[in-house]
Structures are given as C-alpha cells and as structure tokens.
A = this chain, B = another copy of it.
Amino acid sequence: MKMREFRVTRNYLDYPPGSALLEMGNTRVICTAFYEEGIPAFLQNSMVAEGWLTAEYNMIPAATLTRGKRERLSGRSFEIQRLIGRALRAVVDRNEFPGYTVYVDCDVIQADGGTRTAAINGSCIAIYDAFQKMIAAGLITTNPLREWVAAISVGIVENELILDLSYDQDSRAQVDMNVVMTEQGKFVEIQGTAEREPFTDNDLQKMLMKAKQAIAKIIYLQKKSVDLI
C-alpha cells in the first residue's frame, strides 16, 4: 500500500515561465503556468487590488488505452479544472500579484489513474516557478505561494485500502477519494464517492489518515524539486 513512483521534470518546456512534467506511476501530465497582465471582469470593481489564477485541464487522444476523442470540453474535464483552480487559489495570496492572471494548463499525455492529483501536484511547482520569474522581472516582491499544496487519491479496492490508484484499480474501487491538503496538514478539498457501495465513517477515517501521510511525502518531493530542501 504505497504511492506509485513520483517523478518531476522541472522546466519541461521552454516558453512558459513555469513548467513541469509530473509523473505518478504511468500517469504523465505536463503542467505549465503563464502570467499575463489583466484580471477578469468580476474582479475589476473589487476594493482590494487582487490577482487571479485559473486552470485548464485536457487529455491528448493518445493518453488512454483506447484512443479518446478530441472533445471541446467534457463535463469531467470541467469538473477537474475547476478543482485544480480552487486548490491552487487556496494557497496563493492573491493580493501579492495584483493586476495579473496566472494561467495554469494541465495537459495529460498519459493517463493511468490519478490525473487530477498529478495535475495539482505539478501545477503547484509550475506556479512557484512562474512567481519566481515574476520576482526576477521585478513585477512582484515576494512569492505569493503561502504554503505548498498537494493531492492524492485513496480508495478501497476489494476491501483493501489503496493509495494513488491506477486506472485499473480505480475502475474496480468501491470507494474513491481525492484529498487535497496543505503543508500544514489542513484540508483544501475532500471528494469521496461511493462508486458501488456506500461507505462507513470508519472507512472514511482510515482513508483520510493514509492520504495525510502521502501528502506530506509529496510536498517534500515538490519542494526538493525546486531546491527548497
């Protein structure tokens, strides 16, 4: 019951100010962050000077076992990219980059379960680096990432607790849970779904415990990848 192998290739692409190839097992996601001047209309009348951060998520057709269709945007993708955006906004101080929007893109090139958690894990690295570039460019003074955030899936497959489910495990899971937590061990998001059978409070507590341990490990690896540790 261990997390799959976790690998980061920082600065994976040349053009975005922050980018990482994030791999968890066979799942591979290109995570990037661009900053641009300007904020969305709904923030423009805000009293406080704020920045914004938004995320998009997509899969290439060749990412899956049988070729996927290039769709405009499925309900599933919408749900995931909203989750990524919320998770990252929970740990950045938007007052620290007023007038700028950070665009995060998560493009899955290989999908073997846990693409949304890999996307969050890689995006946090990408935005850290993009913010560092903003500092280097004299646009902001301190990195607005208040604390690191990471995500992991945990589930119950054939009555056994499993961490970081592969696609095959996920499709057989009774319960599937995604947990997003911060460096300080607080929750940003919990999404647990009974795929077949409703689950008990006891199951829930065990899954949360496992997730907590894994997230601490991931945050260690994220920070190491950007030479903070």
Measured CB to CB, the residues of A under 8 A from B are 13-16, 19, 26, 30, 32, 34, 36, 56, 58, 60-67, 70, 72-73, 75-76, 78-79, 81-82, 86, 90-91, 103, 105, 107, 109-110, 112, 177, 181-182, 184-194, 196-201, 204, 208
Distance of A148 from chain B, by nearest CB (Å)? 12
Chain B residues with Cβ below 8 Å from A19 are: 62
Chain B residues with Cβ below 8 Å from A193 are: 86, 188-189
Distance of A181 from chain B, by nearest CB (Å)? 7
Given A19-B62, A181-B198, A194-B186, check contact A75 B72 (CB 8 Å).
no
Copies of this chain present in the complex amount to: 6
CA gap between A186 and B204 in the complex, in Å? 10
A192 touches B201 (CB 8 A): no
CA gap between A219 and B16 in the complex, in Å? 32
**Which listed residue, B86, B105, B107, B197, touches A67 by the CB 8 Å rule?**
B105
Distance of A182 from chain B, by nearest CB (Å)? 5
Distance of A126 from chain B, by nearest CB (Å)? 9
Given A186-B199, A187-B201, check contact A60 B30 (CB 8 Å).
yes
Chain B residues with Cβ below 8 Å from A15 are: 62-66, 110
Interface centre among A66, A107, A182 (most CB of B within 10 A): A107
B181 touches A187 (CB 8 A): no
Given A186-B198, A208-B201, check contact A16 B60 (CB 8 Å).
no
B191 touches A187 (CB 8 A): no
Chain B residues with Cβ below 8 Å from A75 are: 73, 75, 78-79, 81-82
